[in-house]
Amino acid sequence: MTIHIRFAEARDIDLIHGFILALADYERLAHAVRADKAVLAHHLFGPRPAAEVLIAEKDGAAAGFALFFHNFSTFEGRPGLYLEDLYVSPEARGAGIGRALFARLARIAVERDCARMEWAVLDWNSPAIAFYRSLGAEAMDEWTVNRLDGAALAALAGAPT
């Protein structure tokens, strides 16, 4: 068995979109997916890419992905790497693909002088939480994620809804 991790290209947009839909289904959030292939292509491979994607292949077949972008720590004075989504196909789980994706992300973070890697996990996803702990990750339980979107975002911006 061989695992290969590569950066996604524009030609991978169908694959990326499919992984996003599969992840949303697993997370019981399929109803929340609004992204279509055109929107993803624009924001991932357009003139100002907002994020990057890694594709994991097992024996030459796509098996998973990781979508990430850079944030910035004012306390550290350095960038960070934020992992938005990571997904491994059910039939490929247990083969080390998740670990390989995380190792590649860690190498990217080190190469780019990032102070840290961060991500969120749903509190009910105990297999993922156990996996993250096995990597040495620490829960940031004292922090609470906040979100402003939709009508509330538009209202605060003074934009018509």
Give the predicted TM-score (pTM) of the model.
Answer: 0.94
Kindly report, residue by residue over 108-131, the tens digit of the pLDDT.
999 999 999 999 999 999 999 999
Q: Whole-angstrom Cα distance, residue 53 to residue 5?
A: 10
Q: For residue 1, is pLDDT > 90?
A: no
Clarify whether 132 is annotated catalytic: yes
Q: Whole-angstrom Cα distance, residue 145 to residue 77?
A: 21
Other C-beta atoms closer than 10 Å to the C-beta of 56 total: 27
CATH superfamily of 3-157: Gcn5-related N-acetyltransferase (GNAT) (3.40.630.30)
Active-site residue, selected from the candidate residues 26, 82, 87, 132: 132
Kindly report, residue by residue over 81-115, the tens digit of the pLDDT.
999 999 999 999 999 999 999 999 999 999 999 99
Q: How confident is the model at residue 161 (pLDDT cuts 50, 70, 90)?
A: low
User: So where are the chain's domains?
Assistant: 3-157
